[in-house]
Structure 1
Amino acid sequence: MNNEKDGVMYAIFSYILWGLTPLYWKLVQHISSGEILAQRVIWSYIFVLFLIIVTKKWRDYITFTKGLLKNLKLLSLLVIASLLISSNWGIFMWAVINGRIVEASLGQYINPLTSMIIGVLALKERLTVFQTLSFILADLGVLSLSLAYGVFPWISLCLALTFGFYGLLKKKINTDSTVSLALETMVITPIALSYLIYLIIENRLQFIESVPNSLLLIGTGVVTALPLLLFTKSAQKVTLSLLGILQYISPTIALITGIFLYHETLTNAHIIAFSFIWLGLAVYSSSSFVKNRKKTNF
């Protein structure tokens, strides 16, 4: 019981941190999005390497890294996973910096439903009637937003799809989450370094312009890795159905932040879209919770 209680606390804390990340990206909005992403990748890699050393997982990291060189299929999956999560980070930061937090939160809300349909298409998983209904409701929400604006909500869909496919690949890359994150950031680090060298050559690197800039960019590593590591600890102690319900803490905080702190407009079209998606999530979460309760009782 104490383990589950601890797990719930880890999960809540991780989702709160994720929900508050727009506050951090707003602090660095004067820096180019490209440099923020490159610095985030590099400092995440350094921070996770530090954690690997502290938690004595260095041998696992080296062993898995050597194994990658002998397994081109696994290496390819890791490279694609790295590109997907980096794209997700970049799109989310761009959305926050450009006053599109509401759209970003919409993408986070439809994450579990997107993952569900990816599971059907890629893993041949079968949907229940309630899961199908929840997916249809989410589709109606996205469609209503598209029709109202006459523009496809690409930010929301790209965030959901990149994270959904990233989750699919993570199922195939079976290793410790800390080691996995280190490898993912390691793979993309050469690209990030190349971009920073380009900025140095062009005399456009903002990291060295001031101490606050340097400290904020270094902090992106902690902002990236800490919530993920807390989430991993919670996943070991809490049922998936409960985690599925708790995960909506993050986009809810982001949504509230966007509307009340940064005064983004919540239009009638957004309200209609969110209503469909929230209803779909309610159906999805309820069916998953009931299903897991039956398994537990059995």
Structure 2
Amino acid sequence: MTQGRIGLLSMIAACSIWGLSPLYYKLLSHIPPLEVLAHRTLWSAVFFTGLLAMRGRLGRVDATLRDRRARRTLTFSALAISANWFLFIYSIGIGRATEASLGYYIFPLVAVLLGVALFGERLSRVEAAAVALAGAAVALLAWREGQVPYVSLLIAITFGLYGVAKKRIAADAITSVTTEVLILCPLALVWLALVHAGAAPGQGGAFGSDAGTTVLLLFSGPLTALPLIFFSHASQRVALGTLGLIQYMNPTLQFLCATLVFREPFGLAQALAFALIWTALGLYSGARLSRDRASRRQSTSAATDPQA
């Protein structure tokens, strides 16, 4: 099997796990979202730390934490991804998995706007049209539902801000995520201590209450880690344009979980909004693929031009 095919299968595996994760979090919907988030943070830290220890790479985390600039950036990214995880867990628990999937569909377009605002990037006409269509979809939902789809927007914004922070981090994906969850671990441990002491919302703590719930909470560690490992593996072997297209598997599977498994309501307004978003993503993906092809042609021409 070629390296390219291995990378492709790794990316499909990562997106399948992410996309089907609502099924897992639905099983934990009887537990307060902050408690689930705390366990996800704690067991992710245990899993990632163990993985780096097995590879003899724990020193990379220490070196990263000693760098003041990297530590500040990773603290910001840790808070951003923690907020994103909470919103996702919360949305599944309250029966808004459809809004969560919409948030991850909107994310690439929010990332474009963040690039314009923070890095001075310019939009092509097609990309601007895609962003406008996404705005129209959000406006339609706000008008039809009588409120802004805040869960979708916050999921997209927090993930977008996480991506912005990641652009400023030199550490590899596994090291940076391990550092992030270790930064968050003290908060997770304090919250869980309060929950089990009866001083925070909950029923004395779900962990240890029964074997099934305990195993599910422990599983949040590998469930968080495995797709990231697959994604990291794929990113080294698959073209960025292909990665971007396959990533739409994630919100698509989430959407199917919400509508076909959870039977969440999906009326005409939602159908029109999703149609606008899918059209916007089609325009955006086409524009990015064209830009990537042009960039590769220029690189090839420069490499073969004896005058270059």
Give me the whole-angstrom Cα distance separating, in 2, the residues matched to 1:108 and 1:102: 10
Instruction: Give the counterpart letter for 2:64 in structure 1.
Output: F
Q: Which residue of 1 aligns with 2:292?
A: 292
| Contact 2:47/2:222 (<8 A) preserved | yes
Structure 1: stretches of 5+ with no match in the other structure = none
Q: Which residue of 2 aligns with 1:165?
A: 161
Residue 98 of structure 2: which of 102, 105, 119 is its match?
102
Q: Secondary structure at the match of 2:103?
A: helix
Q: Which residue of 1 aligns with 2:9?
A: 9
Give me the whole-angstrom Cα distance separating, in 2, the residues matched to 1:197 and 1:50: 23
Instruction: Give the counterpart letter for 2:58 in structure 1.
Output: W
Alignment of 1:145-224 (within 5 A): 145-202=141-198, 204-224=204-224
TM-score (norm 2): 0.93
Q: Which residue of 1 aligns with 2:134?
A: 138
Indicate yes or no: 2:275 matched with 1:275.
Answer: yes
Give me the whole-angstrom Cα distance separating, in 1, the residues matched to 2:145 and 2:112: 27
CA deviation map 1:175-203 (0-9, x unaligned): 01111011100111101100011112116
Give me the whole-angstrom Cα distance separating, in 1, the residues matched to 2:113 and 2:235: 22
Identity rate, percent: 33
Give me the whole-angstrom Cα distance separating, in 1, the residues matched to 2:238 and 2:232: 10
Give me the whole-angstrom Cα distance separating, in 1, the residues matched to 2:42 and 2:272: 40
- Per the TM alignment, residue 164 of structure 1 is displaced from its structure 2 partner at its CA by 0.1
228-237 or 35-44: which moved more?
A: 228-237
Q: Which residue of 1 aligns with 2:36?
A: 36
Q: Secondary structure at the match of 1:206?
A: coil
Instruction: Give the counterpart letter for 1:131 in structure 2.
Output: E
Instruction: Give the counterpart letter for 1:232 in structure 2.
Output: S
Give me the whole-angstrom Cα distance separating, in 2, the residues matched to 1:2 and 1:295: 25
CA deviation map 1:4-40 (0-9, x unaligned): 2221111111001100000100111122212111010
Alignment of 1:57-136 (within 5 A): 57-65=57-65, 67-68=66-67, 71=68, 73-136=69-132
Give me the whole-angstrom Cα distance separating, in 2, the residues matched to 1:4 and 1:113: 27
CA deviation map 1:214-243 (0-9, x unaligned): 111010011111111111111111111111
Q: Which residue of 2 aligns with 1:255?
A: 255
Give me the whole-angstrom Cα distance separating, in 2, the residues matched to 1:227 and 1:153: 27
TM-score (norm 1): 0.96
- Per the TM alignment, residue 74 of structure 1 is displaced from its structure 2 partner at its CA by 2.9
Give me the whole-angstrom Cα distance separating, in 2, the residues matched to 1:4 and 1:137: 34
Give me the whole-angstrom Cα distance separating, in 2, the residues matched to 1:240 and 1:214: 38
| Contact 2:64/2:71 (<8 A) preserved | no
Instruction: Please report the RMSD computed on the Cα atoms of aligned residues, expressed in angstroms.
Output: 1.3
- Per the TM alignment, residue 132 of structure 1 is displaced from its structure 2 partner at its CA by 0.9
- Per the TM alignment, residue 55 of structure 1 is displaced from its structure 2 partner at its CA by 2.3
Give me the whole-angstrom Cα distance separating, in 2, the residues matched to 1:29 and 1:121: 37
| Contact 2:64/2:70 (<8 A) preserved | no
Give me the whole-angstrom Cα distance separating, in 1, the residues matched to 2:62 and 2:117: 34
Q: Secondary structure at the match of 2:167?
A: helix
Instruction: Give the counterpart letter for 2:171 in structure 1.
Output: T
- Per the TM alignment, residue 173 of structure 1 is displaced from its structure 2 partner at its CA by 1.5
Q: Which residue of 1 aligns with 2:306?
A: none
Instruction: Give the counterpart letter for 2:175 in structure 1.
Output: V
Give me the whole-angstrom Cα distance separating, in 2, the residues matched to 1:274 and 1:75: 38
Give me the whole-angstrom Cα distance separating, in 2, the residues matched to 1:296 and 1:83: 36
Give me the whole-angstrom Cα distance separating, in 2, the residues matched to 1:178 and 1:247: 19
Q: Tell me which structure has the larger Cα radius of gyration.
A: 2
Q: Which residue of 2 aligns with 1:20?
A: 20
Give me the whole-angstrom Cα distance separating, in 1, the residues matched to 2:125 and 2:132: 11
Give me the whole-angstrom Cα distance separating, in 2, the residues matched to 1:272 and 1:247: 22
